[in-house]
Structure 1
Amino acid sequence: MPFGILNVGYDSTNYYLVGSTFGFLLIDAGWPGTWGKLLAVLKRNDIDLDQIHSMLITHYHPDHAGLVQELKAKGIELIVVAEQQPAIPLLKSLIKPEYNYQPITPDNTRVITTAQSREWLASLALAGEIIHTPGHSADSISLVLDQGIAFTGDLQPYAADDESQALVERSFQALRERGVEWMYPGHGPMRPLIYVSQQVKLCPDDPS
């Protein structure tokens, strides 16, 4: 059971700290070139970097993964879900050089599968799992905690094309099947899943 959830976001993007007896897990990691802003938000909330043991990125876009390398250099372990690995080297191409993005290196990184995620979370005194929730991007994942909350990144009820929309529908269905009641999104306030999913035509169960 988490001790609490703290939003340490800025510049219209949410970054969450999930606390337990072992310290904090950071969900998403800042815009590139905004190290000072992140430190200022942490200071206002009386959080030291050494209280954050690891970070999980919902998807590798500039506004969610821009400070990963700086945080790793401070001893914070990056947790990568296997489906996300191809997206990491592509991140640099999405960021203009003037933003001083530091490319993510393999050091201080742990790669896990979704099947291994429950055991990993249990080692942090957190009950839940990580699931693959594509739709916004192929590498999108959600952290689902057993008390009915999920950190869903930029998963939205509508997608740009039919293929992505089918993925969105399946991702929302996966959240519903796991009893999620509240979504903590990458942008905007927390939302009840039932409200958001009313905007999605849920796909039928996969016959396979």
Structure 2
Amino acid sequence: MAKIVILTGAGISAESGLGTFRDKDGLWTKYDLNEVATPEGFAANPALVHEFYNARRKNCVEATPNAAHAALARLEQALPKGEVIIVTQNVDDLHERAGSRAVLHMHGELAGALCAACDHRWPAPAVMAPADPCPACGDPATRPDIVWFGEYPYHMETIWDLLRGCDLFVSIGTSGNVYPAAAFVQDADRAGADTLELNLEPSAGVSDFAEARFGPATDIVPAWVDEVLSRR
């Protein structure tokens, strides 16, 4: 069982150039989330949804991991296998590109495609379109393998088990507004884990953490990792 469970959100990738929902001039501001991030939006206008995720996929490919991603990879590699697990709300692959291997993507991945007809999954091409056939069933029902608003996140049973068995839960770069992730700290705390928030500014749930540190992720995450490893 993992001893350290780390939840990461958009804030850890922001310094790599991948915007958050709240960026004033980011990609998100150019679209209505109800139209591009819900099953209903996809049913109404799949071309618009693919346009949005094609742009996000391009942004992701052009981004590079930052010092915070690298620090978490260093932490995982320095400790015995399985002691550090990253649960990420992000759909980018920056954790993996930085060297992390134990990563659970609870909201899916930009690099994945999903057939809405038969649930087959495969690596997404750079550009997807509504007419793309599923390689398994042939149905033109391909969509990004992303968990949209109103859909149930991936890996939840595994995540709850990890939270209830860890010694330390750390939340990095999350707003604390989106459930079920916003409740992770409470679940870990009830199970007896220590809890820590690392964030640019206090989240909505900061009072639920035993400790909180604020600043850019590229500063505070490497500093925390150095601190943890110095005690080993």
Taking structure 1 as the reference length, what is the TM-score of the superposition? Answer: 0.34
More RCO (CA 8 Å, sep 6+):
2
Instruction: Look at both structures and tell me which one has the larger radius of gyration over its CA atoms.
Output: 2
Q: Which has the larger strand fraction? A: 1
